[in-house]
Amino acid sequence: MIGDNVFYIALSWAAVRSGTPSQAGLVMAVSAVPRALLMLGGGVVADRFGPRRVVIGSDAVRCAAVLTVAALLFVAHPGLWLLALLAVVFGIVDAVFMPAVGALPARVTGRDQLARVQGMRGLAVRFANVVGAPLGGLGVALGGSATAFALAGLLIAVSVPLLISVRMRETPPAGGADAANTANMADAANTAPAGAEAVGPPGDPDGVPARGDASGPHARVPDAEDGAAAVPERPATAWRDLRDGLRYIRGHRVLAPLIVT
């Protein structure tokens, strides 16, 4: 995040030095537009390839792009077109990076520590906002836009091995903890020896059968192959995942107005 703040200071300064204020505004806008338009698709990418892999890959691309532009600015003055191209690339990669990195806290800690981790992340973001801009200004003052871009690239480069070192927790199966408990109980019931009592949900002292187990404590819990579950599902595609996500947001009383805002 500190590298990001330095980058935007360097980008705005370089754009102002290379063109008019209107052109500088356009350069900054072309960085924001793809981020806004493609972020929902970036979430689909993170779902399909895994947030850790997407975060590391997109962060490496951002680092390479910023350092490449810094090197070009050290040896030449390519003009606004290079800055606009960098802004577009950075915006597109950010649209993939931001949903993926937002999904990491739930995968590096348990529910009991999630609020604490999110609070630490929020403090880190605010610290970066306070520190990043002065660092970017210092880079510009010492060596111009090229130095500021190099500083941003090096800061982002530091984050790549840090992200690689992050250890991920196993993600729960689709449906969350309830689905996992149901699957575990089904497996236990189907493999229990004859005459063994069925075990109720965790924490249930009475051994009450799971819901839908109407035929008594020795009833067999249906397998995934039983009944309607045997109907093959349509293969998931990125477009279908995106539509499912939009449909979920549209029906959510909190997320829908939040996304619009």
Measured at the CA of 21, the angle between CA 17 and CA 25, to 5 degrees, comes to: 105
152, 128 Cβ separation under 8 angstroms = no
Q: How far apart are CA 11 and CA 130, in angstroms?
A: 18
| Sign of the torsion formed by the C-alpha atoms of 53, 175, 120 and 4 | positive
Multiple choice CATH, 2-165, 3.90.1150.10, 1.10.1740.10, 1.20.1250.20, 3.30.1490.100: 1.20.1250.20
- Residues contacting 134, CB < 8 A, separation 6+: none
Domain ranges of the chain: 2-165
Please list the ranges in the chain whose pLDDT falls under 70. 170-235
